[in-house]
Amino acid sequence: MATLPTLAVVGATGAVGTVMCDLLSSRKNVWGEIRLIASARSAGQTRMCRGEELTVRALTAEAFDGVDVVMFDVPDEISAQWAPVAVSRGAVAVDNSAAFRSDRDVPLVVPEINPEQVRNRPKGIIANANCTTLTMIVAVAPLHREYGLRELVLSSYQAVSGTGQVGVDTLHDQLSKIAGDRVLGSRPGNVRQAVGDDLGPFPAPMALNVVPWAGSLRDGGWSSEELKLRNESRKILGLPDLKVSATCVRVPVVTGHSVAVHAVFGTEVDAEGAREALRNAPGVILVDDPAAGEFPMPIDAVGTDPSWVGRIRRSVDDPRALDLFVTGDNLRKGAALNTAQIAELLAAEFLAAAR
C-alpha cells in the first residue's frame, strides 16, 4: 500500500488556519503526517487537528523537509518569501494569498472549474483565488458553460472577517458601544461620535453603516479587491478579454461574502434553464423562492461549504443577461476549503504515482 503524503499548514494558528484544521478533521483522510507551522511566537502552542493534539512548529526551511504539500494561509509577503523555500525543499506549495495569483507560471485553481490546471505548475506553486472571487465564480462558471459568458457587472457585500480577527473584534466593539441608542443613524455624524476613533482596519465605522471600499487604492480610483475580481475571473475561466466591472462594499456582517451579479452571455438565456444548470452544479446550493421568503443570505451560508445562489431573473432590457445573488462563507470555500480541495487533488496525484 502506498504511503500517504505528508501535509504542512503554514499559518495554522490564524483565522483561516483554524478553519483548515477543522476541515482536515471532517474531510476524507488522504494525509499521513500533518505538520502545523506558524511564526516563532506561536511555536509550541498546540492545536487539535484530525483528532490529534499537534504542536505548532516555527516557520523555518527545515520544517518543510519531508513534506509533500504545503498549504500557506499567511499574508502575501510571507507567502512570497516562503513558498519558494518550501518548493526548494521538495514540496508543492498551495498558496491562499495574492502573492502568486497574477503570475503566468502559477495556475489559479478552483477544483469545480479547472482541476486539470494543478498539473500545470512549473514553479511548483498553485494559487488560491480571492475569497470574493471564489464565492461568485463557482456559480458563474456553470452558466458560462451553458451560455458563453461575455461580461460581468458585480457589486460585492463583504464581511468584516475578510480583514481577519481584528475586523470581527472591531465590529463587535462598535456594536457594544451603540447598543440601545435608537437615535443613532438619524443625524449626520452621530454614529461616528458614538463609535469614536477606534476604526480598526476600516476607513469608517462599520456599525449601522456600509463602506464602499475594500482593499487598497490602485490606479484610476479602483481598489485592489475590485481588480482581483476582474483579473482572477479572467484567469480561472480562461477568458482573457472578459469585461468585468466591480464595486466592492464592506458590510456589518461577521462572516459571509455576497455578490450581486449582472452577467451578459453570448446567447439568449432563460431563468429556469439557469436554475437547472445551477441546481446540478458542484459546490452550489440553489435557494431561490422569493414568494416563500427564501433567498441566499450569509446568516444561512456561514459554516457551510457551497456557494448559495438565488434571486435569478432574466434582465428586462437584454435577453442575453441574467441577474442573480450569491453568498458563501469567506473563511471556508473562500479560503480554507478551496485550498484543501487543491491539496487533495495533489494527494491523489502523488498516490497514483506511488502505485
Active site residues per annotation: 131, 257
Residue 355 marked as a ligand binder: no
**What secondary structure letter does DSSP report for 56?**
P
Residue 161 marked as a ligand binder: yes
Residue 156 marked as a ligand binder: no
Residue 13 marked as a ligand binder: yes
Residue 16 marked as a ligand binder: yes
Cβ 206 vs Cβ 174: under 8 Å: yes
Cβ 72 vs Cβ 126: under 8 Å: no
Q: Nearest-5° angle of CA 210, CA 211, CA 217? A: 165
Cβ 74 vs Cβ 97: under 8 Å: yes
For residue 61, what are the CA distances in angstroms to 74, 121, 313?
16, 21, 52
Residue 14 marked as a ligand binder: yes
Q: Residues 11, 15, 16, 18: is their CA dihedral positive or negative?
A: positive
Instruction: Measure the CA–CA gap between 314 and 270, rounded to whole angstroms.
Output: 7
Residue 50 marked as a ligand binder: no
Residue 158 marked as a ligand binder: yes
Residue 119 marked as a ligand binder: no
Which of 94, 103, 102, 50 is closest to 73 using CA atoms? Answer: 94
Q: Pseudo-torsion of CA 294, 297, 299, 301, nearest 10°?
A: 100
**Which H or E element spans position 158?**
strand 149-158
Residue 230 marked as a ligand binder: no
Instruction: Measure the CA–CA gap between 183 and 186, rounded to whole angstroms.
Output: 6
Residue 310 marked as a ligand binder: no
Residue 26 marked as a ligand binder: no
Annotated binding site for substrate: 158, 250
Annotated binding site for phosphate: 101
Annotated binding site: 13-16, 41-42, 101, 158, 161-162, 250, 330
Annotated binding site for NADP(+): 13-16, 41-42, 161-162, 330
